[in-house]
Amino acid sequence: MKWEDVRQAFPGKWVLIEAIEAFTNEESERILVDIVPLKKFSNSPEATRAYQELHRENPTREFYVLHTSRENPNIIEKKWVGLRR
C-alpha cells in the first residue's frame, strides 16, 4: 500500500503503520515504498502506546505512527552515536 492510499482510507486519523519496503535517500529521508496500516487511532498518546508495545515485542520491524493529514511521511533518519565506557 502507498501512503496516499492510507491517507484516503483513514482521513484525519493517527495510524500505526509498518514499512514492508523502504530505503533511505541521500538527504537521510526514509522513503516508504510499501506500507501496511496496522491500526487507526483518534489521538496520538494512544497510538504512541501501541507503537511502543509493538516495537518492544518486535524490535527489528519498522513501525511508524503518522497522522493522515500529512501529505508526505517526511521521516528523517538520524544517526545515533553510542557512549563508550
Task: Look at the alpha carbons of 19, 32, 30, 13 in this order and tell me if their dihedral is positive or negative.
Answer: negative
Task: List the Cα angle 32/33/34 in 5-degree steps.
Answer: 100
pTM: 0.89
The residues spanned by each domain of the chain are 3-75
Residue 60, all three cell numbers: 527489528
Cβ 16 vs Cβ 41: under 8 Å? yes
Tens-place pLDDT, residues 29-70: 999 999 999 999 999 999 999 999 999 999 999 999 999 999
Collapsing DSSP to helix, strand or coil, 29 comes out as strand
